[in-house]
Structure 1
Amino acid sequence: MNSIFVRIYGGILVALLIIGAATYVGVDLINQYRADQYRERMAEGTFFLLGEGLREQSGADRAEWLREMSRRLGASLRIHPGADLSLTYRERLHLDEGRVVIREHRESERITVLYHVPGGDDYLVTSLERLSEQQARATAGLILDRLKVVAPEQRAQSLARLVPYFGFPLSLAEWGEVGLDEEQYQRLDRNEMVLLLTDSTRRDATLYLYVPIPRDHRVLVLGPMTLFDPFPWELLVVASLLALCMVALSTYLQVRPLQTRLRHLERAVKRLGGGDLTAHADVRGSDSIGQLAATFNGMTAHIRRLIHAQREMTRAVSHELRTPVARLRFGLEMLADSESAEARRERLDALDRDIDQLDQLIDEILTYARLEQGTPTIDFQPVYLVEVCEQLRGELDTIRGDIVIEVAGDRTLAVDGDPRYLHRILQNLVTNALRYARARILMTIRLEEGGERVVVEVDDDGSGIPEHQRERVFKPFARLDQSRHRASGGYGLGLSIVKRIVDWHGGEVRVLESDWGGARFQVILPREQQRQHVLGR
């Protein structure tokens, strides 16, 4: 999960799943509440009329009235005192406000309808399987009973007083204005109710109930009664807006840590651009940003190291150049004072040696500076180190004097590396040994225990290197013994070059004590490398 894309995509996907589940549960809970409100509102007018009718009854007439209403509704109507109903706070609150309360019984798919009869502690209770056409017809009959007892000219006002208790419109329409077909008019002529459902395939389908009024030229119209819509556009808009807000929040929570880390990296880059070489990006992680920060920190560390090395080299080069330049100036003065041709020849030879020495110093400085510029692309190939050692021994025959150079090792043993750089490693190590050896130098090539690395050792019988100074010899222009070092030649760059090349080959170099009491330089290189591989620092 190191990819930023995978992390953001995975985070948003998980967020969408959570948001989807939360939205589904939320809409389901809201729809349950809306469905309860819808059913209670649709039943409220019916039970208002039942309660009003019950209040008008007394004694034995009550029981007869309840039986008649039960027959109309198709469900048993009962009267219960409030103490027997175990009402919740919400139910009692709604009932006291004159509203209907519906209890669901999911195990039996039945509902219980409760209504508080005004003026006492009695409650109308009935149990239904569903709100059906029969209850709608019973409701129409109850309204019609109310209208029959008033004069025709007062029926519109009487109906208007009932409208606030119903969840749908009530109106009176002229006989010819209701827009029914011939068969439906015939049913009205037979004093039958007509139930009309508009196009049921549409979400805005509605239900109308037309009831003929005896000895009246008008028709009682109940409706339009809208069907319950579980997904009205208002609810969908609200749910969509909430989902978008939650997606935006989850995306922000995913992106904010990335922005914070990028800001830290940006501040570090600006500090470095302003010349602060101590700039460090404190950004952790293994993703692309974390890797970029690690690369930046490595780059700044490398820049600091290069600048430090440049400063040291500048100081060291200034110091090293001062001696040959002073000798050249002194030699020129002596040459001017020489009278004989032989003396001038000796002075010119000395000057030539000083120039050679100066040229050698400049070559070493340029070589080290080139190696410090960066890691080159190394074309690894098998190199037989014993052959390189024997070739080097032949090259040094003119300068080794009486010192014996020996080579020991398996001629078939090869190591992956660049022949030029491996030759330079051995050349610098043997040349350094020649400066201090008394009579003997040994180059040994062997396989390390385990067989995965090759060990190159250069031993001399000189005075050796103290243990506390063995790490210093690999620093540029290092001086362990000023007078002895100057007497033996060299500028302190050879071993630094060796260290750099060994690092490129993924190996290590160390200084030990030889069996003869002198120094042993040991180079350990991997036997196999990846071809055409650029080694990092």
Structure 2
Amino acid sequence: MNSIFLRLYGGLLLALCFIGAITYAAVELVNHYRSDIYRERMARGTFYLMAEGYQRQTGDEERDRWSQVLSRLFSADIKLETGEALKLTYRENLHLDEGLVVMRLNDDEGYADIIYQLPGEDEYITTRMTRVSEQQARATAVLILNHLAHFPQEQWQQRLQDLQSHFGYPMTIEPRSAITLDAEQRQRLNRREVVIALDDSARINSSIRIYAPVADTGKVLVVGPLSLFDQFPIELLLVAGALSLMAVALATYLQVRPLQNRLRQLDRAVSQLGSGDLTAYANIEGSDAIGQVAATFNGMTSHIRRLIESQREMTRAVSHELRTPVARLRFGLEMLADIESGEQRREKLNALDHDIEQLDQLIDEILTYARLEQGTPNIEFKPVAVVELCEQLQQELEPIRGEIAIAVEADPSDLQLDGEERYLHRILQNLVTNALRYARSQVVMRISEQDDAVVVDVDDDGPGIPEHERERVFKPFARLDKSRHRASGGYGLGLSIVKRIVDWHGGAIVVAESPQGGARFRVILPREQKGQHVLGGRIT
């Protein structure tokens, strides 16, 4: 996945999915905890009154009768059990010691076992509830009225305030005239029934109130409002939304920051190059679009540095190389004016013509090298018979070889490779003519195969090249022995041109010692270019 946009969008999508899953799990966990707290808060007051009723009973029979009364009120089996029978956990014991209600939920079966400890005793009220119903609400109101019945009327308000610490909702005694009920609900109150009224006027959460007539006092016990459990209250949604947005912002920042840093590095490198610093380098890794741009930029700066350095070397070398033939021409022209003999004048003119020819050859080599330095030319790779090319060159050099023999050895004799014939010809021509300058009696072109490559060795029996000088011979205008090189007529550009063409063909050239004792130039070229086509320095 090299596309930076796919990586960015993919990363953000994964982050959003992860954040969504985490948010959902967190909300579910919080709701589970809230629901436990809600159920315990709603049940605690009721079980406190149950426990108070048990402790008013003086014997086991009375407690059994109280259990039966409670069971009828709540339509559930309510009884007392010991802690040993219940097998309470450490956490449950802590809750019970604090006067809290413990609920053992069984979501699969759809019920909850509720446990409450009698204060100061090792007995526990236990029951199993399958659902919350109106009957349980009415039963709670009955227990409250039963509690108040044990005290004088003037103490009721105070007793309700004392009970408030055990209940999770308010309780008051109001005159009938102060409450708002419809006609049917008032009739039920007149019949001394407990009335449950739903209040859904609130936009956020609904609630219920319990109205229970208090004997013949003309007053009503009002329990509530009891808020219904809201799975997703606005506060929880706001908190979850804010945390999710923060997580998305953090994920976006973590995705964009590396991209921004890499772009900033690239911008610094470009600014550095724009200010004239050719050592600018964009240290950016990766195969995406930015990494490719950075690699191209680094290649460009490297190529610019090489071209400028080559230009400097060329300028220095050209000025040095041109100085000698130009000085000889000037000196020859000055002498020509003083020569009176026709024969001597012709000899001097021939010498001047020779100097001009050398100067022309030098300029031609310089122009050739400069043209090759401009970049990779258009190369159309085609099969080339290497042995035939060597034999053709052998015939072409026959007139200038003198007493030095040129031999061609091939194994096998039908080797071919993909390349540009005229450039391959230039490689062999430069190597063989260079060998002819130093060979004593023989130059051999040996062609062989090595894996998927063709190897061409050009050997001579001359003085050879010292090992520490073998890399330098490919630099332009390099001379190992200036006097000998000058005598041989070279300018130090032929091997540089060879190195450039070999690089174009994806090959390599090395210098070693030949079997004849002289120098060996080994050219290794791939047999197949695999359909590659080089256009203006770019391989497609």
| TM above 0.5 | yes
Over the aligned positions, Cα root-mean-square deviation in angstroms equals 4.1
Q: Distance in 1 between matches of 2:477 and 2:101?
A: 98
Structure 1 contact 81–121 (Cα < 8 Å) conserved: no
Q: Distance in 1 between matches of 2:66 and 2:516?
A: 129
User: 1:58 and 1:513, CA in 2 relative to 1: closer, same or farther beyond 3 A?
Assistant: closer
Q: Which residue of structure 2 lines up, in the alignment, with residue 417 of structure 1?
A: 419
Q: Distance in 2 between matches of 1:509 and 1:53?
A: 106
Structure 1 contact 463–519 (Cα < 8 Å) conserved: yes
Structure 1 contact 389–443 (Cα < 8 Å) conserved: yes
User: 1:46 and 1:521, CA in 2 relative to 1: closer, same or farther beyond 3 A?
Assistant: closer
Q: Which runs of 5+ in 2 are unaligned?
A: none
Give the percent of matched residue pairs that are identical in Structure 1 and Structure 2: 59
Q: Distance in 2 between matches of 1:366 and 1:313?
A: 11
Instruction: Give per-residue Cα distances to partners, 1:224-275, cap 9 Å, x unaligned.
Output: 4322122222112212222332333344344444544554554444444444
Cα distance, 1:492 vs structure 2? 0.7
Instruction: Give per-residue Cα distances to partners, 1:512-533, cap 9 Å, x unaligned.
Output: 4455544443322112112424
Instruction: Give per-residue Cα distances to partners, 1:289-312, cap 9 Å, x unaligned.
Output: 555545444444444433333333
Q: Does 1:314 align with 2:277?
A: no
Q: Which residue of structure 2 lines up, in the alignment, with residue 526 of structure 1?
A: 526
Q: Which residue of structure 1 lines up, in the alignment, with residue 437 of structure 2?
A: 435
Q: Which residue of structure 1 lines up, in the alignment, with residue 481 of structure 2?
A: 481
Secondary structure in structure 2 of the residue aligned to 1:375: coil
Secondary structure in structure 1 of the residue aligned to 2:232: coil
Cα distance, 1:486 vs structure 2? 0.8
> For 1:154-193, what aligned pairs fall within 5 Å after superposition?
165-170=166-171, 172=174, 174=176, 178-180=180-182, 182=184, 187-193=188-194
Query: Mean alpha-carbon deviation: is it higher for 367-376 or for 8-17?
Result: 8-17
TM-score (norm 2): 0.81
Secondary structure in structure 2 of the residue aligned to 1:492: coil
Q: Which residue of structure 2 lines up, in the alignment, with residue 112 of structure 1?
A: 114
Secondary structure in structure 1 of the residue aligned to 2:231: coil
Secondary structure in structure 2 of the residue aligned to 1:448: strand
Q: Distance in 2 between matches of 1:254 and 1:494?
A: 53
Secondary structure in structure 1 of the residue aligned to 2:476: coil
Aligned partner of 1:430: which letter? V
Instruction: Give per-residue Cα distances to partners, 1:462-517, cap 9 Å, x unaligned.
Output: 44444443333222112122221111101010011001101110112233445554
Q: Which residue of structure 1 lines up, in the alignment, with residue 30 of structure 2?
A: 30
Cα distance, 1:25 vs structure 2? 3.6
> For 1:164-313, what aligned pairs fall within 5 Å after superposition?
165-170=166-171, 172=174, 174=176, 178-180=180-182, 182=184, 187-197=188-198, 204-215=205-216, 220-285=221-286, 287-313=288-314
Structure 1 contact 168–222 (Cα < 8 Å) conserved: yes
Structure 2 contact 265–283 (Cα < 8 Å) conserved: yes
User: 1:402 and 1:61, CA in 2 relative to 1: closer, same or farther beyond 3 A?
Assistant: closer
Secondary structure in structure 2 of the residue aligned to 1:337: coil
Structure 2 contact 212–222 (Cα < 8 Å) conserved: yes
User: 1:467 and 1:52, CA in 2 relative to 1: closer, same or farther beyond 3 A?
Assistant: closer
Cα distance, 1:456 vs structure 2? 2.7
User: 1:173 and 1:329, CA in 2 relative to 1: closer, same or farther beyond 3 A?
Assistant: farther
Q: Distance in 2 between matches of 1:57 and 1:457?
A: 118
Query: Mean alpha-carbon deviation: is it higher for 493-502 or for 102-111?
Result: 102-111
How many matched pairs? 529
Q: Which residue of structure 2 lines up, in the alignment, with residue 102 of structure 1?
A: 102
Structure 2 contact 92–102 (Cα < 8 Å) conserved: no
User: 1:522 and 1:536, CA in 2 relative to 1: closer, same or farther beyond 3 A?
Assistant: farther
Secondary structure in structure 2 of the residue aligned to 1:136: helix
Structure 1 contact 407–442 (Cα < 8 Å) conserved: yes
Q: Distance in 2 between matches of 1:253 and 1:116?
A: 56
Q: Distance in 2 between matches of 1:321 and 1:53?
A: 124
Aligned partner of 2:490: which letter? G
Q: Distance in 1 between matches of 2:4 and 2:224?
A: 59
Q: Which residue of structure 2 lines up, in the alignment, with residue 328 of structure 1?
A: 329
Q: Which runs of 5+ in 1 are unaligned?
A: none
User: 1:223 and 1:377, CA in 2 relative to 1: closer, same or farther beyond 3 A?
Assistant: farther
Q: Distance in 1 between matches of 2:339 and 2:466?
A: 46
